[in-house]
Amino acid sequence: MLKIRVDQYQTKALLNGFLYREYRDLTYVERPVSEIQQLNLFIPQAYYQQESINGYTAATAPIFVPNTVGDYLPGPADFPGNDQWPSRSKTIEAALQRGYVVASPGLRGRTQQNESGDYIGKAPAFIVDLKAAIRFLRHNADHLPGNYERIITNGTSAGGATSALAGVSGNHPFFQPLLDELGAAKESDAIYAASCYCPIHNLEHADLAYEWQFNGITTYHNQQMDFKTDPPRAIAVDGELTNEQQKLSKELKQGFRAYFNQLNLHDQQGKELTIDQDGKGSFLKLIQALIMQSAQQVLNEGQTLSAEAGLTVVDQQVVGIDWPQYLAYIGRKKAVPAFDDLTLASAENDLFGTRQIPQQHFTDFGQLNSQVKASQADPALVAAVNPIHYLTETSGQTAHYWRIRHGASDRDTAFSIPLILALFLQDQGKQVDFAYPWGIGHDGDYDLVALFDWIDQICQ
Ligand code: DHB
């Protein structure tokens, strides 16, 4: 049942005439619980004519697997020309023309309910579905162009976290019963490489990280999505932290130091990274150096840097950064706690609901300080959707190649959150391409040429 009928394709063309075969709406599990559990598959026509694209052939083309998950909402399967939010059709179109086979799986999200009113897309549904989709692709590899040992996932924000999870938890036993329940193909779900833009992950430590970064900044400039409009519209929610929130911020900040220092992470030279008693230290210096490097790159390209960013530039060299000024320049987005909201109002509270309970806390801190009647998610489940968890044990397979980007103006999660992931991977001998690109906010796929250059470099 999980075999693609290889003759059931349509030949399509991009606007510039580039030809590809399209397989639509392929249900990738035997017992789906939602219509979203389907994928679309796109294959350059050239591979059926013994031609090559960008040096790739039907035997060697990488399999690019972008997802459309955002905000931990359902991420539907995408296709070229799709202009419906949350499509990233331009990514698919560009990837096809680079010679990649592209698979776009639909993944369940936190708001989905079945006819009985049960929630069917709470954690860990999004990653279970991506694994099932990867298994389905491998199950059909014999009859399709492409090298299924070169699967590369891609996503942004919650979708970046989804991509990261696929990269760290290949064939992990935690997921086997969940995959069996859905009737996923009995294949490997390990991947070759992961591209992660601003991954909103490590959720149970993200509040600590946010206050380590933003403690002292007491105004916030958030947005709330209005899903009644199409596309959804962002409404500004600005505010001032209360005295109570400022007190909690201090506690969370201190908690981050304790958390970070026991991770035992190292810089590229093998020197242990730490946070000292005043909240500074070698880890902060590393973050600052990376931000300065990214500013330097922009200067080297002949662009100017905002005078308000707090950088010291001498002879076209970025030689210093006034950290409080830089943080004030980018601004705080979220109140306290940033993720485990004390009234259960965050996307993450919603992600950690159950089949019957819409929202829950997912940290002891949130539960302890809750302002509403609330329950707490099973810590084992919270860990199971945290990529970092898999880097502290050895039961899963980890992709060897990683490209992680988090904009230097992104305030959706702290700078330390993507960096901790990169450092763990680096400490374990993985190849990690990491940067905080200058002037970029909470966004992804903004540098597709560079992303695809990286893919070519690891695949050719
Ligand atoms: C996303 C952004 C957030 O700030 C968050 O907390 C969760 C998800 C997103 O854009 O996917």
Question: pLDDT tens digits for 141-157?
Answer: 999 999 999 999 999 99
What percentage of the chain has pLDDT greater than the value 90? 98
302 domain-assigned: yes
pTM flag (> 0.90):
yes
Q: Verify that 242 and 333 share a domain, yes or no.
A: yes
71 lines ligand 1 (CB under 6 A): yes
Distance (Å) from CA 102 to ligand 1 centroid:
25
Q: Verify that 26 and 167 share a domain, yes or no.
A: yes
378 domain-assigned: no
CATH of the domain at 64: 3.40.50.1820
Query: What per-residue confidence (pLDDT) applies to 223?
Result: 92
Distance (Å) from CA 142 to ligand 1 centroid:
37
33 domain-assigned: yes
Number of domains in the chain: 2
341 lines ligand 1 (CB under 6 A): no
Mean pLDDT throughout 255-283?
Answer: 97
ipTM above 0.90, yes or no: yes
- Whether 189 has a pLDDT exceeding 90, the answer reads yes
Residue type, 135: R
Q: Verify that 138 and 198 share a domain, yes or no.
A: yes
Query: What per-residue confidence (pLDDT) applies to 230?
Result: 87
Q: Judge contact between 397 and 391, C-beta under 8 A.
A: no
Mean pLDDT throughout 376-385?
Answer: 98
Query: What per-residue confidence (pLDDT) applies to 450?
Result: 98
Q: Verify that 191 and 238 share a domain, yes or no.
A: no
Distance (Å) from CA 317 to ligand 1 centroid:
34
Distance (Å) from CA 63 to ligand 1 centroid:
26
Cα separation, 347 vs 205, in Å, equals: 15
130 lines ligand 1 (CB under 6 A): no
Q: Verify that 306 and 416 share a domain, yes or no.
A: no
30 domain-assigned: yes
Query: What per-residue confidence (pLDDT) applies to 1?
Result: 85
- Whether 433 has a pLDDT exceeding 90, the answer reads yes
- Whether 78 has a pLDDT exceeding 90, the answer reads yes
Mean pLDDT throughout 59-73?
Answer: 98
347 lines ligand 1 (CB under 6 A): yes
Which atom of ligand 1 is the closest one to the Cα of 346? 6
Output the CA–CA distances (angstroms, integers) from residue 430 to 20, 216, 399, 427, in the order listed.
34, 36, 8, 7
Q: Verify that 26 and 169 share a domain, yes or no.
A: yes
343 domain-assigned: no
141 domain-assigned: yes
Residue type, 366: G
SS (H, E, C) the chain: CCCCCCCCCEEEECCCCCEEEEEEEEECCCCCCCCCCEEEEEEEHHHHCCCCECCECCCCCCEEEECCCCCCCCECCCCCCCCCCCCCHHHHHHHHHCCCEEEEECECCCCCECCCCCECCCCCHHHHHHHHHHHHHHHCHHHCCCCCCCEEEEEECHHHHHHHHHHHCECCHHHHHHHHHHCCCCCCCCCCEEEEECCCCCHHHHHHHHHHHHCCCCEEEEEEEECCCCCCEEEEEEEECCHHHHHHHHHHHHHHHHHHHCCCCECCCCCECCCCCCCCCHHHHHHHHHHHHHHHHHHHCCCCCCHHHCEEEECCEEEEECHHHHHHHHCECCCCCCCCCCCCCCHHHHHCCCCCCCCCECCHHHHHCCCCCCCECCHHHHHHCCHHHHCCCCCCECCCEEEEECCCCCCCCCCHHHHHHHHHHHHCCCEEEEECCCCCCCCCCCCHHHHHHHHHHHHC
Which atom of ligand 1 is the closest one to the Cα of 206? 6
Q: Verify that 195 and 234 share a domain, yes or no.
A: no
157 lines ligand 1 (CB under 6 A): yes
Residue with CA closest to ligand 1 atom 9? 71
Distance (Å) from CA 151 to ligand 1 centroid:
25
200 lines ligand 1 (CB under 6 A): yes
pLDDT band at 293 (very low <50, low <70, confident <90, very high): very high
pLDDT digits (tens, 9 = 90+) for 12-40: 999 999 999 999 999 999 999 999 999 99
pLDDT digits (tens, 9 = 90+) for 223-249: 988 888 888 899 999 999 999 999 999
Q: Verify that 25 and 102 share a domain, yes or no.
A: yes
Query: What per-residue confidence (pLDDT) applies to 320?
Result: 98
350 lines ligand 1 (CB under 6 A): no
Q: Judge contact between 391 and 398, C-beta under 8 A.
A: yes
Q: Which domain holds residue 112?
A: 10-202+386-458
Which atom of ligand 1 is the closest one to the Cα of 161? 11
Q: Verify that 116 and 187 share a domain, yes or no.
A: yes
pLDDT band at 416 (very low <50, low <70, confident <90, very high): very high
Q: Verify that 224 and 97 share a domain, yes or no.
A: no
Q: Verify that 229 and 174 share a domain, yes or no.
A: no
pLDDT digits (tens, 9 = 90+) for 302-353: 999 999 999 999 999 999 999 999 999 999 999 999 999 999 999 999 999 9
Query: What per-residue confidence (pLDDT) applies to 199?
Result: 98
Number of Cα atoms under 13 Å in the Cβ half of residue 11: 7
350 domain-assigned: no
Query: What per-residue confidence (pLDDT) applies to 228?
Result: 87
Q: Verify that 234 and 294 share a domain, yes or no.
A: yes
pLDDT digits (tens, 9 = 90+) for 419-432: 999 999 999 999 99
Average of per-residue pLDDT values in the chain: 98
Burial of 384 (0-12, 13-18, 19+ CB in 10 A): buried
355 domain-assigned: no
Residue with CA closest to ligand 1 atom 5? 71
Number of Cα atoms under 13 Å in the Cβ half of residue 14: 19
